[in-house]
Each structure stands twice: as C-alpha cells, then as structure tokens.
Amino acid sequence: MEAHHHPAGAEISEAAVRLLREFTGRGPTKARTTINHDTVMIVLGDTLTKAERALVENGKQDSVIKLRHDFQMVMKNDLVGIVEGAVERKVVAFMSANHIDPDMAVEIFVLQPDGRT
C-alpha cells in the first residue's frame, strides 16, 4: 500500500482491496485513493487474476473487460458503502473503468455536495 495523506483514503483503499479479494479470489497489489471536494477516486493496479491474464494472452481482452465491469457492478453497493462510511457523505454516482495493459482499474464516486467549497 502506498502512503496516504487523508486517513479516509487509506481506509477506503484497504477496504476496496479486501472486497476485490473476496469477490475475485485475489486482490490488487496497488491501491491509492484520492479525495477531492465532491469526488473520491480509487486507482487500483495489478488487478487481474491468473485466469483473466490467460484470457488476455489468448486474445479475449474484451471478455475480461466485460467480466471486470460485471464484477464492479455486483460490488457497487459494497464499494459505495465503504466510501460513504469513510467520508460520511452520500455517493450520488459511481463509475468504473478498466485498462488491460498496464493492468489498472479506476473507481470514481461523486459525492452529494455538502455546501462547503
């Protein structure tokens, strides 16, 4: 885990890695959470399982991207709960994207404005 400047960031990164490990059998080895005014972004690295890597090596990159997206949608409520608990604000939107080479994923959470600037 990389260093974090925001205690909630470290909490979110660790919980997201744990959750991915529960769902896929293997957690990413890198995670960094950035918290800005109304957004939280988790960047995950080294996310693919051995099975997913084998699919990529055999030209099935699109299948892996779809599978990853399906996992993220299944985990959505848990991920949103982790973020809401850590920052004590409501998440109004959740978006997810994956990249194969390099092996990275990003989870973006848009928070309900809290009235502060």
> Is 100 part of any domain?
yes
pLDDT in tens, 46-75: 999 999 999 999 999 999 999 999 989 999
The model's pTM: 0.90
Angle at 33 between CA 27 and CA 37, to 5 degrees: 150
pLDDT score, position 114: 81
DSSP annotation of 56 reads: H
Provide DSSP, 63-83: HHHHHHHHHHHHHHHHHHHHH
> Is 116 part of any domain?
no
Checking if the pLDDT of 1 tops 60, the result is no
> Is 117 part of any domain?
no
> Is 74 part of any domain?
yes
> Is 93 part of any domain?
yes
Average pLDDT of the chain, as a whole number: 92
> Is 70 part of any domain?
yes
> Is 1 part of any domain?
no
Domain membership of residue 34 as a residue range: 7-111
When divided into structural domains, the chain yields a total of 1
> Is 2 part of any domain?
no
Query: 1 or 35: whose pLDDT is higher?
Result: 35
